[in-house]
Amino acid sequence: MRVAVYYRNTDVRIEERPRPVIGAGELLVKTMASGICGSDVLEWYRIKKAPIVLGHEIAGDIVEVGEGVGRFRVGDRVFVSHHVPCNTCWYCLHGNHTVCETLHTTNFDPGGFSEFIRIPAINVDRGTFRLPDNVSYAEGAFVEPLACVLRGQRLAGFQPGQTMLILGSGISGILHLMAGRAMGAGAIFMTDTDAYRIEKAKAFGADAAFSARDDVPARVRELNGGRLADLVVVCTGALGAFKQALQSVDRAGTLLCFATTDPGVELSIPLNDFWRNGIRIMPSYANSPYDAELAIRLLAAKRVPVEDMITHRLGLEDTPLGFRLMAEPCESLKIIIEPQR
């Protein structure tokens, strides 16, 4: 079978590998859609494991079922989580699935930028979900990123009617916008340094979208009746965005670090101000099976129009182009690889 092997952002090669052989309790899935995630082009993060077949936002068809699998059959359309928790450790039992050691050591074989993937038994058990008939494969590839967004907003305690400021209007920022709308947000403001993405934020319904080079806290106060934002979501790794976020969150509000900086970067926090004003700072990484199920329900209800976010649909042979588009500033939002084209 064909796979796209990552060596670095500018070096992704189409190679041939044996089709995976499944064992008891496992599934073989034919990959129909696989999204390129922003984390796929974090070169400092990915290159230490290269060469590697990436791709964790997938949807496809089950083509083989291993002995002992009772819940699935050949022909089922599915989304599959690449990382799954054990559901029994201290962290899982206290709702912290994404710090579970098992979650950090599980994956499918190989990544989603391939024609077929083998789904290990543990992923079959707690990470494989049937797609509703009205959810396309391309929509199914959004389950994982949307689930991550939903988890972040859930852990941040986001409530209907609250105002939200999203720093970074790439795909994760747009998903936060749409999820916030689906969950009853009040006003939602967005920033970016790229004019194309600012226009995309407006097109997807932000109440205001403006340049990150502006005086962001002042703009938020102007737009929000003198108040700062109840929830500030950082969706870019730029250190300047984190500094703006610290200045843009209202009393009793929350700063959600959805993105991360490069390793070794430190952020100075005005602890006294945050202590006096009851402000929380929290990160959010990955998602849990609960969040994936919720994402599928929202997609089936058409509450989050993700297909409108797709700017490029490419065959597997064009995966190198997809990585270049994702890694470099250009007019793109979401890039979907379709290995069966």
Residue 125 in domain:
yes
Within-domain flag for 320: yes
Helices 195-203 and 171-182: crossing angle in degrees, nearest 10, is 20
User: pLDDT for 67-97, tens place per residue?
Assistant: 999 999 999 999 999 999 999 999 999 999 9
- Give me the pLDDT at residue 261, please: 93
Residues 295 and 273 reside in one and the same domain? no
| pLDDT at residue 322, as a whole number | 98
What letters, b where the CB count within 10 A reaches 16 and e where it falls short, cover 144-165? bbbbbbbbbbbbbebeeebbbb
Asked whether residue 18 is assigned to any structural domain, the reply reads yes
CATH number at residue 128: 3.90.180.10
Shared domain for 257 and 303, answered yes or no, is no
- Segment 200-234, tens digit of pLDDT: 999 999 999 999 999 999 999 999 999 999 999 99
Q: Do residues 227 and 176 both lie within one domain? A: yes
Q: What's residue 254's pLDDT?
A: 98
242 and 328 within one domain: no
**pLDDT per residue over 232-281, tens digit each?**
999 999 999 999 999 999 999 999 999 999 999 999 999 999 999 999 99
Whether 190 maps to a domain, the answer reads yes
pLDDT of residue 126: 97
Kindly report the three-state secondary structure assignment for every residue of the chain.
Answer: CEEEEEEECCEEEEEECCCCCCCCCCEEEEEEEEECCHHHHCHHHHHHHCCECCCCEEEEEEEEECCCCCCCCCCCEEEECCCCCCCCCHHHHCCCHHHCCCHHHCCCECCCCECEEEECHHHHHHHEEECCCCCCHHHHCCHHHHHHHHHHHHHCCCCCCCCEEEECCCHHHHHHHHHHHHCCCCCEEEEECCHHHHHHHHHCCCCEEEECCCCHHHHHHHHCCCCCEEEEEECCCCHHHHHHHHHHEEEEEEEEECCCCCCCCCCCCCHHHHHHHCCEEEECCCCCHHHHHHHHHHHHCCCCCHHHHEEEEEEHHHHHHHHHHHHCCCCCCEEEEECCC
pLDDT tens string 52-71: 999 999 999 999 999 999 99
pLDDT exceeding 70 applies to what percent of the chain? 100
What percentage of the chain carries pLDDT values higher than 90? 99
Q: For 36-46, what is the mean pLDDT?
A: 95
pLDDT beyond 90 at 329: no
Q: Examine the domain organization and report whether 40 and 65 are in the same domain.
A: yes
* Model confidence band, residue 330 (pLDDT cutoffs 50, 70, 90): confident
Residues 58 and 191 in one domain: no
* Shared domain check, 136 and 13: yes
pLDDT score recorded for residue 252:
98
pLDDT tens digit string along 168-208? 999 999 999 999 999 999 999 999 999 999 999 999 999 99
Q: For residues 65 and 180, state if they share a domain.
A: no
User: CB count, 10 Å around CB of 314?
Assistant: 18
Question: Would residue 16 count as lying in a domain?
Answer: yes
Length of the chain in residues, anyone? 341
The parent domain of residue 215 ranges over 157-283
Residues 164 and 135 in one domain: no
In the listed set 250, 266, 283, which residue is the last one of a domain according to the structure?
A: 283
- Provide the number of structural domains found in the chain: 2
Q: Look at residues 237, 253, 283 and tell me which one is the last residue of a structural domain.
A: 283
Same domain, 124 and 258: no
Strands 208-211 and 229-234: unpaired
Supply the mean pLDDT for the chain: 97
Instruction: Give the end of a domain, one of 283, 298, 323.
Output: 283
| Domain membership flag for residue 152 | no
Does 151 reside within a domain?
no
